[in-house]
Amino acid sequence: MRLSLGISTCPNDTYIYEALVAGLENSPFEWDVHFADVQTLNEMVIRGELDVAKVSAQVFPSVRENYRCLDCGGAIGYGCGPLLLSSRSGAFDPELQTVLPGTNTTAALLFRFWYAHKFGGAPQVRYALFNEVYSSLLDKSSAQGVTIHEHRFTWERDGLHLLQDLGAYWEQETGSPIPLGIAVARSSLSDEVVGNVENEIRRSLSVARARTELVSPFIREMAQISDEKVIEKHIRMFVNDFSENVGKAGKRALMCLWDVSKC
């Protein structure tokens, strides 16, 4: 059976899905793989263009009529949330615009969640791809922005200022892990097919975990950053037991996030 798959080039995605993309032995599937920024993947799923995809957890209420949430392959965890950074000072200024990594990203929702509790009302925002958010902070064309992925590990080195760890705030306020990303599959696929997809993702993750080296040439080639230590930190932070099985705690976190997204 031939299916389309959408994932990002970030190390946690390429780590989990590498063996699946390369072709697992005796797989029931052939995959047409699309690599894209998470906001682009969100938009592709909203348009119904992919059979299986890794997307922002907060986009699910918008696509639940056409997609189902998988029990593996996502990104949920503790201490792994997006960071609100400043290029200029250590104090957030609600009068200034904040640049966010995509309209439908969980990072954007977590920022709004924090802002609503701290200031009330609607923040001034604009949107950009995640790498553009970071570059705009580095060249100081943006005063403040929310960063995700590898940039969680490079802001201090690059002279930026931490205003708020949005994931830590979510954990503090909800008592739940941070539900950043989920894998979804088209609802029209049968239960058997979806079960096989989940088996393939878990098999792929098992292959990755069995390797001696954490970072493969494929992961290194696809990453948006060349620093090997940062790539390793990224994988260790975002790939965990929730990646293999969302479980009860993960499902509670997702339900909490989806309730917040209605507000």
Q: What are phi and psi of 86, to 5 degrees?
A: -125, 145
Retrieve residue 248's tokens.
């009860």
H/E segment holding residue 110: helix 106-118
Q: Cα–Cα distance between 79 and 166 in angstroms, integer?
A: 10
- Annotated active-site residue 151? The verdict is no
Q: Cα–Cα distance between 190 and 68 in angstroms, integer?
A: 11
Give bridge partners of residue 52 from the DSSP assignment: 5, 185
Q: Cα–Cα distance between 243 and 106 in angstroms, integer?
A: 17
Q: Cα–Cα distance between 84 and 162 in angstroms, integer?
A: 6
Q: Cα–Cα distance between 66 and 59 in angstroms, integer?
A: 12
Retrieve residue 63's tokens.
């696509």
Q: Cα–Cα distance between 262 and 257 in angstroms, integer?
A: 9
Active-site annotation holder among 117, 149, 161, 234: 149
Q: Cα–Cα distance between 208 and 203 in angstroms, integer?
A: 9
- Which residues are designated catalytic? 149
